[in-house]
Structure 1
């Protein structure tokens, strides 16, 4: 006769196996949902909003064993890459973004013994959130055990990643991670099949490969040609709408190394702080002019200079830093790590439904007790853009 404890153990084991079996079904269901979600295009929410969380310069190393840099003495004990991961989790919970964008130096190659392990750990919060995400490379990502191309290829294949190695059908283009994403209007609206917000991602390089030019890399002519052609195609597609849009859908650009034009700003004409020099390329490749000529990009977002978090407008385009995010990245003791959020909102029409993008706003959150919101500002609005066009037409 079986002993009572043996019966209980048997029942417990059966229950555990059933739980594992049902758990497996649940995991498979979640995976199926994730695949379905990834197949769907980016789209504005039913509330007419699309929110992007920018994470700049994680500098992820080997996790718990990788110490923090430039924090207060009372913060140093136990501070590691895990603080960076915790900050991402907090930001996701607080903002509930529709897209997360990582703008380079995602891992700090010199302190990452295994690039794959570091990439998995660095992006783990995004993966577990089931939120679509995209990434570009910085100047440190390739310094571990994978080449620059290898790093980008791995990122492209990760769960929920919308990143691309390079544009499909483009045979010759510099760098790895040049692509665009389209954000369609609200499901069921007249613009649900149109991209009402265009996102451009570019590889700004790592270091100059020209012997006579020192310093960091830059966005090359081949990339600019792709951007021009893509922007033109998207403008034509948008303005061919039966409702007859007269202007292009707004665009946002994301890359790592700031443009030389960022040096045009001082405290009188930007929002935020500038606490270090502009570490752009030592040559100006003209990409800012290319964006101005295209006419659709309203803001460009970068990282690289961790102690700068300002946003300034030049010729109708805001150039914005995110501020340092990662705890293994250099920073400033007592100056909180931070992240930038961008919110695009559609216009609500009188007869119901949603129309074009009405405004694009941004703010930052600090990694403090309250995730304090700072420096909220409007980057672009349809009303102000219309007023500028009228002034230009009127010759004023």
Structure 2
């Protein structure tokens, strides 16, 4: 689908002096219809927003900011950061990876979700979301939170696959078609998987956070297999499966497998806050063969990417101001830009590479840690 002009100027917003301007953008945005790579540039860009922890707006105070930043700092600083990012990056899809609201401090969970997602809706951008471990701790159950999310404007989130017995709420996939008018216009060139990683263990003998269950892994395997068959079997036949990206909230135990020598970014938490058991989802992704990168939130002070058995495991870094962070360490978000190959004829083909960087909520929206997560020539 073509990109439509909506680049209405927004004011430059920063934490200092923390006089937050709440701006609603009403200009025309992306066209309706399915997700598709852009003709100009052959790219598809995803903005990941992790751990907004939104509550009651202006009355919800900030945590872990510098003393000079405290006065007037609230949820509206989170909103301002999101507006700045959307304007700067102009993503094709926004993905909210859980703890979108902080239910415990929210007076009305539905209103908090509406306010948290409002910038993406105001700018008419397609968006998707999964649940974290704090979304359901307010006036709506976990099921209720997801049902509200899938009923909001411009959402591509789904409650669960129809006709499938599956754990959790918000397990679904999205397909990104090739450039309109090319041979791959009707094929999914990029597959995106979204899973509910749970909240807390419901097994009395197992303490800690939840995990991706066997029913979800079975759905993922079947979906991945079907998508791969469609891509390599249907005309025009492709030699390799279309690459995939996975998004969920709680990191897998495999995120523990990195040291400063084999990742890009920072690892500042005392430990990886994964489930205390390993349900095997990482191995399931490896066996499926199409997922090239998985993206999570949950641990706000980690923002690294590390490669394990052919899959990049990435944190986004904490986004919000109403949650723990680190004073003087900027809130941040992760951008992923997927690039298509171009034939000698000039026609866009299948995927060439997956690139990523992070944006900081500082005066200049500084870009850091740009890296290539995957490229076809690497045989990853």
Mapping 1:290-305, distance limit 5 Å? 290-305=284-299
Mapping 1:46-61, distance limit 5 Å? 46-47=39-40, 48-61=42-55
Shift of 1:242: 2.8
Look up the SS of the partner of 1:228 in the other structure.
helix
Look up the SS of the partner of 1:118 in the other structure.
helix
Q: Could you tell me which residue of structure 1 aligns to residue 226 of structure 2?
A: 233
Q: Could you tell me which residue of structure 2 aligns to residue 73 of structure 1?
A: 67
Look up the SS of the partner of 1:151 in the other structure.
helix
What CA distance in whole angstroms lies between the structure 1 residues aligned with 2:136 and 2:297? Answer: 17
Mapping 1:1-396, distance limit 5 Å? 37-38=31-32, 40-47=33-40, 48-170=42-164, 172-276=165-269, 277-385=271-379
TM-score normalized with structure 2 length: 0.91
Q: Could you tell me which residue of structure 2 aligns to residue 12 of structure 1?
A: none
Shift of 1:241: 3.5
Unaligned runs of 5+ in 1: 1-29, 389-396
What CA distance in whole angstroms lies between the structure 2 residues aligned with 1:314 and 1:109? Answer: 34
Residues 166-187 of structure 1 show CA distances to partners (whole Å, capped at 9, x for unaligned) of 01221x1000000000000000
Q: Which protein is bigger by CA-based radius of gyration?
A: 1
What CA distance in whole angstroms lies between the structure 2 residues aligned with 1:307 and 1:360? Answer: 24
Residues 55-114 of structure 1 show CA distances to partners (whole Å, capped at 9, x for unaligned) of 000000100000000000000100000000000000001000000000000000011010
What CA distance in whole angstroms lies between the structure 2 residues aligned with 1:147 and 1:62? Answer: 18
Look up the SS of the partner of 2:373 in the other structure.
strand
Check the 8 A contact 2:184/2:236 in 1, yes or no: no
Look up the SS of the partner of 1:256 in the other structure.
coil
Shift of 1:37: 3.7
Residues 240-297 of structure 1 show CA distances to partners (whole Å, capped at 9, x for unaligned) of 1333311100000000000000000010000000000100000000000000000000
Deviating above 4 A after TM superposition, structure 1's stretches of 4 or more consecutive aligned residues are none
Which of the pair is proportionally richer in helix? 1
TM-score normalized with structure 1 length: 0.88
What CA distance in whole angstroms lies between the structure 2 residues aligned with 1:190 and 1:154? Answer: 38
Look up the SS of the partner of 2:301 in the other structure.
coil
What CA distance in whole angstroms lies between the structure 1 residues aligned with 2:234 and 2:330? Answer: 45
Check the 8 A contact 2:74/2:322 in 1, yes or no: yes
Check the 8 A contact 2:100/2:113 in 1, yes or no: yes
Provide the alpha-carbon RMSD of the alignment: 1.3
What CA distance in whole angstroms lies between the structure 2 residues aligned with 1:75 and 1:383? Answer: 46
Q: How many residues align?
A: 353
Shift of 1:352: 1.6
What CA distance in whole angstroms lies between the structure 1 residues aligned with 2:185 and 2:239? Answer: 18
What CA distance in whole angstroms lies between the structure 2 residues aligned with 1:123 and 1:224? Answer: 28
Residues 193-239 of structure 1 show CA distances to partners (whole Å, capped at 9, x for unaligned) of 00000000000000000000000000000000000000000000000
What CA distance in whole angstroms lies between the structure 1 residues aligned with 2:183 and 2:128? Answer: 27
